[in-house]
Chains A and B, each alone.
Chain A
Amino acid sequence: MTTTASAHSTERTALADPHPTRVCALDRLTPDLGVAALVDGVQVAVFLLDDGSVHAVQNLCPFSGASVMSRGITGSRADEPTIASPIYKQVFSLLTGACLATMDKEPQPGLEGRLRVYRAWVESGEVWVDISDSH
């Protein structure tokens, strides 16, 4: 199996990480259908895209306050892979977490209008996430 990590996490290896967590087997993921994972009490939305890359972002949707990002629709804006929130349809970059379309809404009080992006990668047919390595 080809091991492909997402564009923003190619340089580093799992062994060098302090808190890598195995989330599931790669074959548990369906391309473009996200899943939620609970990593050290943090809800993470994990996506496998059809180019084989895996991405992990916070599952909490900042505009609704509900933990639902894993149930959004993946897509692209130009070349940037995106995820749209299933509640009010804000679009976020899966690479940077930036909100690309706010749909004229403000984030919930106390929440930042973007997603945290966690490092995610595939190794020996398993999907890994490191929540200590995020931006």
Chain B
Amino acid sequence: MTAQEHIVVVGGGMVAHRFVEALRARDGDNRYRVTVLAEEPRAPYDRVALTSYFTGRDPEDLALGEPQLWEDPLVRLERDARVVEIDRENRVVTDVHGVTYVYDHLVMATGSYAWTPPTEGADLPGVFVYRTIDDVAALRIFVEQRRKDLGRPVRGAVIGGGLLGLEAAGALQELGAHSTVIQFVDRLMNLQVDEGGGRALTRLIEQLGVAVKCNTATQAIKPDKTGKVGRLVFADKAEQLADVVVFATGVRPRDELGRESGMMIGERGGIVVDDTCLTDDPHVSAIGEVACIQGACIGLIAPGNTMAEIAVDRLLGGDSTFPGADTSAKLKLLGVDVASFGDAFATTPGALELTYADPVAGVYKKLVVTDDARTLLGGILVGDASAYASLRPLVGAELGGDPAGWLLPEGAIERPNVELPDEAGVCSCNNVTAGSIRSAVTDDGCTDLAGVKACTKAGTSCGSCLPLVKKIVGTELEKSGVELSNALCEHFDMSRSQLFNAIQVSELRTFSEIIERHGSGRGCDICKPTVGSILASLYNEHVLAQDRAALQDTNDRVMANMQKDGTYSVVPRVPGGEILPEHLILIGEIAKEYGLYTKITGGQRIDLFGARLDQLPGIWTRLVDAGMESGHAYGKSLRTVKSCVGSTWCRFGVQDSVGMAIALELRYRGLRSPHKLKLGVSGCARECAEARGKDVGVIATDNGWNVYVGGNGGFTPKHAQLLVEDVDDDMVFKVIDRYLMFYIRTADRLQRTAPWQEEFEGGLDAIREIVVDDSLGICADLDEHMARHVDSYEDEWKAVLNDPERLAQFTSFVNAPEEPDPSLAYVEQRGQRRPATTEERDSGAVLIAPTRLEVHS
């Protein structure tokens, strides 16, 4: 395969990532192999989300796209490989280590650097810029150290009141520093918002405790007596104390390689490219912030991604051209929504501006329309940007109806219902138009939001367009006769959360009554377990009570986990992973007597495999007699609370994590929920219990506990996000009680906390308002519900052992109860047994027949 051409990408940022992703997605004939030379010691990451690095996310959370991209044999990523020389004549680039790369085509994607105005003292320790993970990490370390040294909160100053400056101010606040934003011009974010918007923004930002100084030029940064940053001196000779300074005064293209190798450079910098992203050298393209396209460098991700797509398209023989930059942006800075789109400053001749301002609520909205007030040209939204997703794609289209509908608070007057034109861009991160979303439904057969996301990539980056995508998908499905149904199954025409409400309100307690009142037919393997789970969540009655047994899914039905051969595994509860030696010995004895395969689980307990249905009561009799109880490993319910050893033994622990884990596990044991629940408790910030991979993670701090929610391992791993910090034990229980109960009431069937939280309208912030600030006034009800659960807990295995009628379910054959299932066959492996494969059965390899293992019948 030597005919392959080699593309070398200089730079490893977001646009380089998009280029490679698009190339590998579209180059089906494997025409090209690609090498990415990145300066940073890591794969491309989401620089836009950099600030979230402070809100508890790890660097790897910022990863872009699928990590498998970098394992593609035709993709090579060289980290820490800054290019120092380009020889265009011989088509060779050389990196900082002297390694050379020969290219057929070169893609310049070197991005920008953070520019700082020449200022006295800008080189002092404690002056930072805000561009890379390393910048942000260094800032974090400095601020934390400075606080310790000073013994008081750190005073921070951010020079620059643009988008990046406000990000940096937010980051300083997250680090517990006071921050002041110093802006040269008369308002914050002067590139995006007008005077009115700037005023609203300043008010909102100040309410959050960030000071704002506009019309202020910084002349010098002076050191304190330790030689670190101490104060700022302004042009008017006024001074301000500052222990740390962040420059956020804009970016400049990193075009030095282009200059040195003689590429054409724009007037204000940047490598000049045409509308196909090609430079004056046909073997070199430039994309992203370094490219000077249509006369300017653009510091936004969406146009950068567009350029990457165009460059790929051209390399593959396509004919796409750069349509002009969409400089629309929607941001959440320090929790304040700011959006600006289209002709935000009304530069179109004759343009009219419609504004709405509510200084009390801190809302400012402006729409720019044509002189006949019919066509939308642009707008600015501050404080409430909920209309952004709908409005931005309408730029250039008729608004239809009274534009005031978009300005007044939602619900005041009806918003006109406008059908977006097919070419309207909906997802600007990934360049997805309304038309391609529609065709995903009509031509590609997608029937839900998840399908459309996977198919078009719409909404997979920043997610701000998801409400609109959902609406388009819904409309399109409706048109094609398919309703975007949230029906559970053919028997219930409602979602799980609606059904939960219906059952709660109607107080019906049997499936037959419930399906008669709220559904139709006889039910199925979808709705029966759902109703069984809802009843268990509501009343905490035994899962095998009355007509409940027939509702339970495979595992709950016999309170054990069915394995591939129809036998079960048994997991007794080991709260917090703390176990008595007597119990360990007992588990070992049972395993030996019944010939069970034993394995330690991920949740710090022991799993015994290969127990037949008829053996379960005998096994559980011995466990229950010794004081052990069901571990609910089989239930859509609380599984385990994993813990590290904590302060009682560990040299580093700051709280008793085992004690907390046991308290949590005993509190929530047996709690039935839409999906399984896993918790974790770590005794210090080292996080040995990996609590942030759990639905609820509790991590010790010097002052108490931080509670994280919505973590997930599994197919789509997610780190849990911070819900509350530095709270005491009682508050830990209280917020988790409410969070779990609210989840149980409102999540979909088999929806874990991570996607529930993500899809909940308003996200975690909204959930926090509900469960911490009681914004819906339901906390008393949630508390009472959880208290009922805790009080009414009983070990469900113990209850069954005391009930001969339910025990009768645990027989192998109704007409031959002493006969074990004759079809079971095992082979030995590493001293234990496992189910024989079909081939082993057929070949008659050494099989262990079930009867030979019989000890207890």
Contact = CB atoms under 8 A, between A and B. Distances in A.
B565 A66 contact: yes
B838 A65 contact: yes
Contact of B522 (A23, A50, A68): A50
A30 B549 contact: yes
Contact of A37 (B554, B815, B822): B815
Nearest to B552: A73
Contacts of B523: 75-76
A68 B524 contact: no
Contacts, number: 106
Given A35-B814, A38-B819, A60-B823, A75 B528 contact: yes
Contact of B564 (A41, A64, A74, A82): A64
A60 to B, nearest CB: 7
Contact of B823 (A28, A43, A49, A74): A43
A77 B564 CA distance: 26
A67 B821 contact: yes
A77 B809 CA distance: 26
A33 B809 contact: yes
Interface in A77-122: 77-78, 81-82, 84, 86-87, 89, 91, 108-109
A62 interface: no
A86 B823 CA distance: 17
A119 B522 CA distance: 22
Interface in B235-289: none
B525 interface: yes
B532 to A, nearest CB: 10
Nearest to A23: B815
Contacts of B815: 21-24, 37-39
A18 B231 CA distance: 103
A66 B525 CA distance: 19
Nearest to B841: A65
Contacts of A74: 522, 550
B553 interface: yes
Nearest to B551: A73
A132 B491 CA distance: 35
Given A23-B815, A30-B550, A108 B490 contact: no
Interface in B559-582: 562, 564-566
Contacts of A108: 838
Among A30, A61, A81, residue most surrounded by chain B Cβ atoms (within 10 Å): A30
Interface residues of B, number: 36
Given A33-B809, A37-B814, A72-B525, A67 B823 contact: yes
Given A77-B524, A91-B524, A67 B566 contact: yes
Interface string B520-535: 0111110011000000
A66 B564 contact: yes
B768 to A, nearest CB: 36
Interface in A16-68: 21-24, 28, 30-33, 35-39, 41, 43, 46, 49-50, 60-61, 64-68
B547 A84 contact: no
B189 interface: no
Contacts of A38: 813, 815-816, 819
A73 B562 contact: no
B522 A31 contact: no
A36 B813 contact: yes
B193 to A, nearest CB: 51
A43 to B, nearest CB: 7
B524 A76 contact: yes
Contacts of A72: 525, 554
B648 interface: no
A48 B524 CA distance: 15
Given A28-B814, A30-B550, A66-B565, A75 B823 contact: no
Nearest to A75: B524
Contact of A23 (B529, B557, B814): B814
B497 interface: no
A36 B612 CA distance: 13
Interface in B103-122: none
Interface string B471-510: 0000000000000000000110000000000000000000
A74 B528 CA distance: 9
B529 A73 contact: yes
B355 interface: no
A34 B816 CA distance: 15
B520 to A, nearest CB: 9
A61 B564 CA distance: 11
Nearest to A24: B814
A68 B562 contact: yes
A127 to B, nearest CB: 9
B190 interface: no
A72 B808 CA distance: 17
A35 B815 CA distance: 10
A71 B813 contact: no
A49 B523 CA distance: 12
Contacts of A50: 512, 522
A108 to B, nearest CB: 7
Contacts of B547: 31-32
Contact of A33 (B521, B550, B566, B816): B550
B814 A87 contact: no
B558 interface: yes
B321 interface: no
A61 B814 CA distance: 18
Contacts of A32: 547, 550
Contacts of B562: 68, 71, 86-87
A71 B557 contact: yes
Contacts of A73: 524-525, 528-529, 550-551, 553
Nearest to B520: A76
B812 interface: yes
A45 to B, nearest CB: 10
A52 B524 CA distance: 18
Among A28, A86, A109, residue most surrounded by chain B Cβ atoms (within 10 Å): A86
A20 to B, nearest CB: 13
A9 to B, nearest CB: 19
Contacts of A23: 814-815
A109 B821 contact: no
B821 A87 contact: no
Contact of B554 (A41, A65, A75, A87): A87
B529 A71 contact: no
B447 to A, nearest CB: 16
Contacts of B525: 72-73, 75, 84, 89, 91
A35 B838 CA distance: 26
Contacts of A30: 549-550
A67 B565 CA distance: 8
Contact of B521 (A22, A66, A67, A76): A76
Nearest to A39: B815
A49 B557 CA distance: 17
Nearest to A129: B815
A35 to B, nearest CB: 4
A24 B817 CA distance: 11
A83 to B, nearest CB: 9
Contact of A81 (B490, B522, B811): B522
B838 A109 contact: yes
Contacts of A36: 812-814, 821
A91 B489 CA distance: 14
Nearest to B550: A32
7 tightest A-B CB contacts, nearest first: A75-B524, A66-B566, A32-B550, A84-B525, A86-B554, A76-B522, A35-B814
13 contacts: A33-B549, A37-B816, A38-B813, A49-B522, A66-B565, A71-B566, A72-B525, A75-B522, A76-B521, A82-B524, A86-B557, A87-B554, A87-B566
Given A73-B529, A81-B522, 14 more contacts: A28-B814, A30-B549, A33-B550, A37-B814, A66-B565, A67-B566, A67-B821, A71-B562, A73-B524, A74-B550, A75-B522, A76-B524, A84-B525, A87-B562
Interface of A: 21-24, 28, 30-33, 35-39, 41, 43, 46, 49-50, 60-61, 64-68, 71-78, 81-82, 84, 86-87, 89, 91, 108-109
